[in-house]
Every structure is written in structure tokens, then in C-alpha cells.
Amino acid sequence: MMQRRVVLLCFVVFVGVVVAPRARSETMDLHSMAVPGATLSGFVRDSTTGETLVGATVRLREQPGGAVTNKSGFYVLGGIPAGEHTVVISFLGFSTKETTLRVSEGETRRLDVALVPEVLEMGEVTIEGNRLDDRRQISVGRVNVPLREISQLRVAGEADVFRSLQFLPGVLSSSQISSGLYIRGGSPDQTLVLLDGSAVYNPTHLFGFYSTFNPDAIKDVELIKGGFPAEYGGRMSAVLDLVQRDGNRNRFEGKASLGLISSRLSLEGPVGNGSWFLGGRRTYIDLLTSLIETENSPLPSYYFYDVNGKITQDLSPSDKISLSGFLARDQMDFESKSGLTLGVGVQNRAAALRWTHLFADNLFSDFNVSWSDYSNALENERRGFGGVIDNHITDLTVKGKFEWFASNDLTITTGVEGSRYALRYLQQLGGGSDSTTVEEAPPDIDTEDYVYSGFGQANYRFSGMFSAQMGLRANYYQLRDIVSLDPRVAVRLQLRPDIAVKAAWGMYHQYFRLASVQDFNFFDTWLPTDATVDPSLAVHYVLGVETRPHDGYEFNVELYYKDLRNVSELREFVTQSSAVREVFYNGNGQSYGIELFLQKRIGNFTGWAGYALGSITSQFDELNGGASFRPKWDRRHDLKFVAQYRINARWNLGASFTYQSGQSYTAQTSRYQTSFPGDNQGIGATVPADLYGLRLPASHQLNLNANYHTTLFGRPAMLLIDLYNVYSHRDIWYRYYDTSGDVTEVTDVLLLPIIPSVALEITF
Amino acid sequence: MKTTFALPFTLAFLLFTACEDAPPTDYVARPFIQGYLLVGEPIQDIVVALSQPIDQAYDHPGSIVRDAAVTIEYDGRTLPLLFREEVGAGSYHVDDSTVVVLPETTYRLRVRMPDGALVHAETTTPRDLAWVLTPPAFVQYPKDTTRLAATDSLRLRWTPGDNTEFLLRVMVLDTVGYGRYLSPPTVEANARTGGSGSAGGPGSGGGPGSDGHGGSAAINYSVTRWTLVAQDRYQIPWTSFSWYGRHDVAVFAADHWFLQWFKSVQFSRLTPEYDPRESNIVGGLGVFGSAAVLRTGVFVLKNER
């Protein structure tokens, strides 16, 4: 244990000794190691709101390559030869800005830029640039979904971040009603979901139907499907990094939306030397069901809501501090005529205090203290008898990250992170609900664990054609008392200005496992790695080609292979356990495939077409007789189309189509009857064939939408018209064998038919 | 132009060729064994059957194997089991009813099927149980169950033995006669309590516990209700009694296989599927388990006062 701590300590010392002391003084010369030339740095903002823009491109007109703003909207462009240059700043959806300036050798200059949104420029607009321009960026497996597309991809009138991501090739769902992300063979718990740097556990509403993220509150969505860099850790499959909006720094603004299922309201405005944002949404399913008179079978009352809040202040040109909070809750209550009361609650809460500081013009730092709590609870009671489930995972994390833009060719990123996890699970079913009985039953899980991590990564451009990213992440898990090392490498070969070949390899350890029932994200329970199991491990191999076949178009192809070790499947019939091994079956797996992705991000016609051919196989000694099998979410073919067309200033039309191979299911071959001592009837049971050996019919769906821009009470308004599942193809959710009679009925439970919906959105 | 047409044709091809996999038809009949040895009771009700194809109507009597060679071994003894029709669709038993199941003893079941196949399993019986809190012989069903405190219902407590989980069974013994058990006897007929289904008690709404096929019919007509108890005490809610009158309340300290079989059958979200990991039958399907049982007779008096 001592040795392992020493390893970690060395890593932390590296960060502390090499970076922090040098960064203490703003007057230090961090350019001494850099190539000659001048350096520009600063923030890129939206001119109307003052909101920083993530992923904006800054480059010199006469030179290839450039810089891209980070999650805080900060960029550094170095190695600029002395003389006069035209700096081009561009961002999707904004007019490109050009600034001419003269720099001298060794000069460092702050250049903050405000871009004007495209919609405000009614004349000829020049829109260019994307994340290809930063040659230090390797961008393997990385997809940025424009918020504009997300707001158009609606389900029953509700825009949803996760559902939009499911329209990307290689991102699968277990069913059309599940927002869970199955990425390149990984299950939803293997994707790291970050909101302003805070991990969010189980980010779903309506038992998995919607994600908890209100698109109005989000300004950047980045998905890394594999081969992600060392700055991300704790999950083995993918990263979804979301950035909340800071709010309008210039004026008070609000947006209200009235939809079929929920309504949303967001308010934002300037405060002090910064801004604030407060947004929320709530369903009114409970209000609708309460209007329905039912004599003998009352309907359950259900609602969900979420609230995002953020306040941001610039303490100085180099210091920005923000406090953000997030609360999402689902609640279902039921009270039967016979006196049964049932309450089910699922809650996500997160808060983060973040300080970004420029130690120098090319040294960006980010410190974050975050707290995240996920809980679910069930209480049922009937005439004094009841049961309780109370489940929590609470995560308190402190982390610091430094980005040193040493030169136009070299960026070094390093950081440390420490997390305290508190996990508690209490299950008391079938007992008296009087306090004495419950108190007698101790929690099934009540443990604390600490995880410490440190990472370092360097992005270096060896030449105009070749750049590489090398990183190492070290993790120490206190409960298990082990250190894991995750080396990661990515390279990029720019064959031509419009063609790049990329590759990545990396190791990814995952320490926490999720005990969850597929298709029903409710009793999700996170468990740490104890002495009975090893951490899960994935090794990613990714090879991709990134091209721009035509102006405004991107076409990417990625091949991936993922080796999965110590992955888990829930043991369904475990009611008591003292070790993690008793809760899960553990085995190995592999996934591989190819993804083709054609995207048009600019112009009146935008969207993408994607196709993924993938295969997932698992092998567990205790499942399927030890033979390999494909998991339920394996879908061999995955075809997606998303298109948006802006007809004129008033009308936008959109369509999305998805086609996937049918989900796997386990067929049954025969039947028997079993009973227990004293039973007067038997129960019909079935004998399964190969686990997930067959496929249901293919899943496909077409959705249409139209937006009509108008004014209401003199304010800009938008009417949103949606047609979900246009030709009403009802997918099979699941298939079961009904043995209640002598003849076994094969019964398919179908998903949603066509759903038209209308919503109204007004900005004030 | 070629490209323009290629896309719709490709889509149409994908849509119309999107057939599901054909279900398997290679059914092979497999031996199914079900036996529960209850400590202190005769060896009986050992069912030997064959599974039947899913695409044909299930014929339970037709599934029973009547001519298997069944033996049971324990403590160096080997006893042959005989088939009898009078219990259910037919089962095997030890003819000598004075031979009872011993606690903490390993029993081995061997079944030679008519086709010569050998099916076997073993179970080790748990320790005997005893009441810590002796249940009353009579409970008065309350007139107003919604206002009565939980602690006023039937409370049970027993010695835990080696088990941490128990099965609790509530079985009505006579759904017709009521007054005949009173003193002095009357001709009053039995009646339902009106408390169908329950939360957290035995027989929760056709889920774990009801002995039918599930659904409301099973709740209404079942006479037996089961629940899993994760402690050595329990308070049976009033609503667990579907009928007034004579009841048998039993606590089962089951062995691992009995318990796992119970969970795999009763806790299935849909139709129970055979799970080989929850079965100890070698060469077939089913369960050969055992339990120490603690029983008490409880008479539920009507809420007529």
C-alpha cells in the first residue's frame, strides 16, 4: 500500500513542483521554452449575451492551423511571427470576425473577442471554421452536437440531450423509450457524464425516458465515444461533457415554453461583473391524471422537475468564479382504494464551485469543488405494514487542472483530483413500518471510499502533418487499496488540409459498478470495487479518417475495437449480499465496429447521416453455460439521418430517421410447471434457449418537426409542431411468454405509436 | 440521378427485409424434478416430469413420469420411492410414513428415467426451528383495519438457526366451513375477509407469494400465500388473510436451493424462466431442496363485533 501511495504522491509532486510554483507569479516567463514569436490569448464570447463560446476557432488568415477555445472559452495562439496579421475568429452559428493587428517578437497580447450571432446578421454572412483547425487537438471519437440540432430533435415535443445523442451512429439505446446511452458496446454506466465538471449519476427522468438535462440550460455538448484523453477518468467507455450556460451578461432575458408533457422557464441576466442563470422545467402529468375520474383503480400521480442555476463573476481579467447547482427529481405517488400508499422518488443533486485563473497568458487553470448526490427511495405502506428502500451515492470531489499552452505546437495539461464517495443502501421489505422494526435492520451497504487521481498529458505537433497526444492517469482506490495506471496515446496525421488520419489507444479503469435493471432506471445502485472483484478495464483501439470532402461538409470514418475485462451483469435474484461478487456475474467482452458519419453543420440545410456496423460479444462463466453471447443492446446495423432546413426567417423544417437491427431476446423452447409445499396451483415456467440468441424485428422510426417563428405580445415566439413516429411503427419493447393458461401465448409489449404535439416558446 | 434513387431503394430494402429471427423449434424433452424435504415430515411429493414444447398446449398430467426408478440416500440408507396418483397429478414418496426427514442431514436423490437417463441432486437439511414468541391460536380480524395499529396484528418470532432469510407461508385450511370450529359449533359458512392483496405481506398482489399463475384470478382463488422474510420475526398484516377461519402459518428455514428456486420463480418480473444457476438438479431441470418448518394453527375470527 505504501508503495502505491508513493507512486501517486510522485505524480502529485510532479504537478506541484513542475507547474504550480512556476505559475505562482503572473510575471514569470512561461514562454522561455516556447518557439519564437508572439502569443495571442483571450476569451471568445457571444456579443449579445457575453456568454463564452466553447470550441470557437482562432487562427491567422495566412497560416494553416490555429487554436480552439476550451470549455471556458479561452484560447492561446502562439508562435506568431512578428509583423502584421489578420486574425480570423469563427464559431458555428456566428459571423466570422477578422481583426488585423501588428505584433512584435516575444509579445504576449490579450485579445478578447465578441462574435455576433448569425441570426442577427440578415445579410450575407460568412461562416467558417470548426475544430479541425487546432492541430494540437487529436479529436478521436469526438462529436460536438450543435445545440441547434438538439433543440430540434424532440420526442413528444420535448428536446432532450441524450435522445439527440442517440441519433449519432454508434450510440445505441436499449429501446425507443430509453434515453440510456450504449456507446460502442459500453453500457450507460460506462459513460462518464459531467455537468460543469461534476459527475452526474443516473441522469434520467421518467424511469429512463428522458435525460435530466434541460437543453435551455446547456451551451455545449461534447461526446467522446472512445479513446478519450487522460484528463477524463473513472469510466471505461465514453465521456459526455456538458457545460451549463453562464447567463446573459448584458441584459435580463427570459424564455418560457409550454409543451405537451412539461413546461420550461429560464431567466438570466447580468449581476455585478458577471451573470446569472436560472432555468427549470416541470411535467404536469400528475395534474392531468388527477383530472381523470377513476372509480376503482386510481391512477398514480407522477411528476418530474429539474432546476439549473449558475452565477458567474469575473473577479479580474484573469479570474472567473462560478457557482452552479443542479437539481432533478422524479416522484411517483400512488394511493389505492384499499389503503396501499406507494411513494417512489429519484433525485439528482449537484453543486460546483469553480475558479478559473490565468496564471499567465498561456497558463490556464481550473479548480473545482463539486458535490453530487444521487438517491432513490421507495416507501410503501398499508395499514401499518410497509417497506423501505433508501439508496444514495454521494460524491465530494476536489480537483485542479492546469493547461499550459507552451507553444503553438505544445500543450501540457495536468491535474489532480480527490473524491470521497459515500454509499448507502437500505432495503427493508415486508416488515412493519413502525420505527422499531426498521431500526433493527442495518443498511445493506453503508460505506465510504476515497479515490485519488492524477493525470498528465501533452499534445505536441511534431510537424505540420503529425501531432500526438500522450497521457497517463494514475488512480488510487482506498477501499481496494490498489493503484491503476491508464496510459493513453493518440496521434493525428494530417495528410492534406482536408484529410487527417487519427488513431488512439488507451487503458480505462472503472472502479464503480452499477446494479441496474435494463429499461427501467430506477433502483440503480452504485457499488465500489471491493476485495472480491477487480476494477473493470477497457482497452480502446481506434483508427479514424477525418475529411472535408466539400466545403461545409465533414465525413469521418472510425474503426474501433474495445477489449472489456471484469465487466458485470446483475444477478437478479440476490436479496442479501456481503460482497460485490455476490451481486454481479463478472466476465469479459469485446466490441468492434465501423462508423461512418457525414455531417453538414452550416448553411440553411444542416444535419447528418450516419451508419454504424458493430458487434458486441460477452463471455461470462456463469451465463449462457459459459458460451459467448451478445448483450441485449447489440444492434448490428445502425442507420441514422437528421436533417434541418431553414426555409426562411419564419419556418424551419426538420426530420430524423433511425433504423437499427432488432434488439436481442432470449427465446423459450419448452415449459414445465412448478409449485411450493401447500400450493394448490402450479406456476407455468419456461426453459430458455441461448441467452439473447434471437433478434426481434428491426427498429425504425421517422419523426418530423416544424418551427414557426412569430411574435406574441410583441415578443419573439416560436411554435413547435412535432410528429413523433410518423408512420406509427410500434417497436417491440419486450417479448414474454404468458403461461397463465395451458396454451402459452407469446406476447409482445409494444412501444409508442404516432404522437403529434405542439409547443409554444416565447422569449422576453 | 443514380444516387438519388439509390438511397430510397436502400431504405426500402432495409425496411421490408427487416424480419425477426425465427424461434427455435428443436425442442428436446428434459427431465424436471421437484422435491422439498421438510424436517420432521415424511418423504413425499417428489415430482418427476418432462418438459413440454412451448408451442403446444401444456398437459400437466401428461408431463408426469410415473415409471421412473427413484431412490433417496441418507445416513448410509437407500430408500426406494413409490409413485402415487392421489396427490396432485402424481408424485413419489417413501411408503413408510414413520420415516421422517432428519435435520442437518444430507439427502441424495437419484432418478433413473424410463429412457435410462440418470438425474440426481442432493440437499442438506437445515437445523430445526423453535418459536421465540409463541403465536396465539386465535386472532380477531379487526372491524376497522385502516385504524388498527400494525403491532396489534399477528406477531411471530423464531430462532434463526443458520439462516438469515426465511419463507413465510399463510395457508387457509377450510374456505367453506367456519362455524364448525367454534365452541359451541355453528353452521355458519366461511367468507372472504375482503382484504385481497397486500403491501409487504404474504401474497403481495400476485407477485411473490401467491400460488397461482399471477394476476387477479390467482389472488382471489389462492389458498396459500408466501413471502420472503429477511429477519427472524414478522408481523402478519391483516390483509394477508383472505379468508376467515382455520389457517396454517408456517415459517420455513429453507436450504440454499429451495430458497433460490423460490426467488427465481416468485421474483421473476414476467414468466419465470428456468435458470440453471438457481437449480441443483444434475441432468435435468428443477429443484431438490429442504427446509426446517415451524407451523402454528391460527384461527381468524370474523370482524363481527
- Which ipTM was obtained for this model? 0.87
pLDDT of res. A66? 81
pLDDT of res. B195? 52
B206 touching A (Cβ < 8 Å): no
B271 touching A (Cβ < 8 Å): yes
Q: How far are the Cα atoms of A12, A421, A472 from residue A416, in angstroms, in the given order?
A: 7, 17, 12
Question: Tens of pLDDT along B60-74?
Answer: 999 999 999 999 999
Q: Do B51 and A382 touch (CB under 8 A)?
A: no
Q: Do B271 and A677 touch (CB under 8 A)?
A: no
Residue A87: which pLDDT band, with cuts at 50, 70 and 90? very high
pLDDT of res. A674? 94
Stretch A212-225: mean pLDDT, rounded? 88
Q: What is the DSSP string of A486-504?
A: EEEEEEEEEEETTEEEEEE
- CB-count exposure of residue B8 (10 Å: 0-12, 13-18, 19+): exposed
- Which distant-in-sequence residues (6+ apart) come within 8 Å of B83 by Cβ? B66, B67, B68, B70, B90, B91, B92
Stretch A396-423: mean pLDDT, rounded? 92
Q: Do A383 and B38 touch (CB under 8 A)?
A: no
Rounded CA-CA distance B178/B187 in Å is 8
Q: Do A573 and B149 touch (CB under 8 A)?
A: no
Q: Do A383 and B211 touch (CB under 8 A)?
A: no
- Which distant-in-sequence residues (6+ apart) come within 8 Å of A128 by Cβ? A88, A90, A96, A602
- Which distant-in-sequence residues (6+ apart) come within 8 Å of A146 by Cβ? A92, A93, A601, A606
Chain A partners within 8 Å of B12 (Cβ): none
| Sequence-separated contacts (24+) of B259-264 with Cβ below 8 Å | B259/B165, B259/B167, B259/B289, B260/A573, B261/A674, B261/B286, B261/B287, B261/B289, B262/A676, B262/B167, B262/B226, B262/B228, B263/A573, B263/A575, B263/B228, B264/A573
Stretch A398-415: mean pLDDT, rounded? 90
* DSSP secondary structure letter of residue B259: H
Stretch A665-681: mean pLDDT, rounded? 90
Q: Do A669 and B26 touch (CB under 8 A)?
A: yes
Residue A134: which pLDDT band, with cuts at 50, 70 and 90? low
Of B20, B228, B234, the CB nearest to A696: B20
Chain B partners within 8 Å of A583 (Cβ): none
Q: What angle do CA A524, B267, A583 make, to 5 degrees?
A: 45
Of A676, A694, A742, the CB nearest to B58: A742
Peptide bond preceding B184: is omega within 30 degrees of 0, i.e. cis?
yes
Q: Do B34 and A675 touch (CB under 8 A)?
A: yes
DSSP β-bridge partners for residue A557: A545, A596
Q: Do A383 and B19 touch (CB under 8 A)?
A: no
Residue B57: which pLDDT band, with cuts at 50, 70 and 90? very high
- Candidate from A716-730, B2-16, B121-135 with smallest mean pLDDT: B2-16
- The greatest distance separating any two alpha carbons of chain B, rounded to the nearest whole angstrom, comes to 97
Reference B272, options B190, B208, B181; nearest CA is B208
Question: Tens of pLDDT along A46-66?
Answer: 998 998 998 888 988 877 678
* DSSP secondary structure letter of residue A479: T
* Higher per-residue confidence, A182 vs B141: A182
Which pairing describes strands A198-199 and A204-205: parallel, antiparallel, or unpaired? unpaired
pLDDT at B222 over 90: no
Of A625, A740, A743, the CB nearest to B57: A743
- The greatest distance separating any two alpha carbons of chain A, rounded to the nearest whole angstrom, comes to 95
Considering A492-496, A674-678, B106-110, B206-210, the range whose residues carry the highest mean pLDDT is B106-110
The answer to whether residues B240 and B202 touch, using CB atoms and an 8 Å cutoff, is: yes
Q: What angle do CA A281, A197, A142 make, to 5 degrees?
A: 95
E strand intervals along chain B: 31-38, 47-50, 52-53, 69-74, 77-84, 91-93, 106-112, 118-124, 131-133, 138-140, 154-158, 166-172, 224-229, 233-236, 245-254, 285-301
Chain B partners within 8 Å of A670 (Cβ): 27-30, 51-54
Rounded CA-CA distance A165/A153 in Å is 9
Stretch B26-40: mean pLDDT, rounded? 92
Residue A121: which pLDDT band, with cuts at 50, 70 and 90? very low
Q: Do B52 and A680 touch (CB under 8 A)?
A: no
- Candidate from A87-91, A164-168, B21-25, B50-54 with smallest mean pLDDT: B21-25
B26 touching A (Cβ < 8 Å): yes
Of A697, A743, A746, the CB nearest to B18: A697
Average pLDDT of chain A to the nearest whole number: 84
Interface A–B counts its CB contacts (< 8 A) at 244
- Which distant-in-sequence residues (6+ apart) come within 8 Å of B142 by Cβ? B148, B152, B238, B303
Chain A partners within 8 Å of B58 (Cβ): 671, 673, 684, 739, 742-744
Q: Do A740 and B54 touch (CB under 8 A)?
A: no
Chain B partners within 8 Å of A664 (Cβ): none
Which pairing describes strands B118-124 and A198-199: parallel, antiparallel, or unpaired? unpaired
Q: Do A662 and B20 touch (CB under 8 A)?
A: yes
What are the grid coordinates assigned to A158, written together?
420535448
Rounded CA-CA distance A207/B132 in Å is 43
Identify the residue among B223, B274, B281 best suited for mutation to test binding to A, counting A beta carbons within 10 A and taking the highest.
B274
What are the grid coordinates assigned to B92, written together?
413419489
Residues of chain B numbered 65-94 and touching chain A (CB < 8 Å)? none
Length of chain A: 764
pLDDT of res. B11? 59
Chain A partners within 8 Å of B261 (Cβ): 674
Rounded CA-CA distance A673/B59 in Å is 10
Q: Do B273 and A666 touch (CB under 8 A)?
A: yes
As a 3-state breakdown, chain A gives helix, strand, coil percent values, each rounded to 5, of 10, 60, 35
Residue A572: which pLDDT band, with cuts at 50, 70 and 90? confident
Q: What is the 3-state secondary structure (H, E, C) of A149-175?
A: HHHHCEECCEECHHHHHCCCCCEECCC
Question: Tens of pLDDT along B176-194?
Answer: 889 998 888 999 888 877 6
Instruction: Assign residue A625 a region (left: φ > 0; alpha: ψ between -120 and 50; beta: otherwise).
Output: left
pTM of the model: 0.85
pLDDT of res. A31? 46
% of chain A exceeding 90 in pLDDT: 44
Q: How far are the Cα atoms of A56, A684, A690, B101, B248 from residue B258, in angstroms, in the given order?
A: 64, 17, 25, 15, 20
What are the grid coordinates assigned to B163, written together?
439462516
Reference A445, options A331, A586, A582; nearest CA is A582
Reference A277, options A219, A349, A318, A198; nearest CA is A219
Report the sign of the C-alpha dihedral through residues A723, A729, A730, A734, in that order: negative
Rounded CA-CA distance A567/A582 in Å is 14
Chain B partners within 8 Å of A625 (Cβ): 276
pLDDT at B287 over 90: yes
Q: Is A647 helix (H, G, I), strand (E, B) or coil?
A: coil
As a 3-state breakdown, chain B gives helix, strand, coil percent values, each rounded to 5, of 15, 35, 45
Chain A partners within 8 Å of B52 (Cβ): 670-672
Residue B20: which pLDDT band, with cuts at 50, 70 and 90? confident
Rounded CA-CA distance A691/A668 in Å is 10
* DSSP secondary structure letter of residue A19: I
Of B29, B199, B272, the CB nearest to A685: B272
Distance from the Cα of A589 to chain B's closest Cα (Å) equals 21
B140 touching A (Cβ < 8 Å): no
Reference A638, options A166, A146, A178; nearest CA is A166
Q: Residue ranges of the alpha helices (H) in chain B? A: 2-16, 60-63, 216-221, 256-266
A59: phi then psi, degrees, rounded to nearest 5: -150, 165
Identify the residue among A296, A624, A672, A744 best suited for mutation to test binding to B, counting B beta carbons within 10 A and taking the highest.
A672
Report the sign of the C-alpha dihedral through residues A336, A337, A341, A347, in that order: positive
H or E segment and range at residue A351: strand A340-360
pLDDT of res. A319? 93
Distance from the Cα of A639 to chain B's closest Cα (Å) equals 10
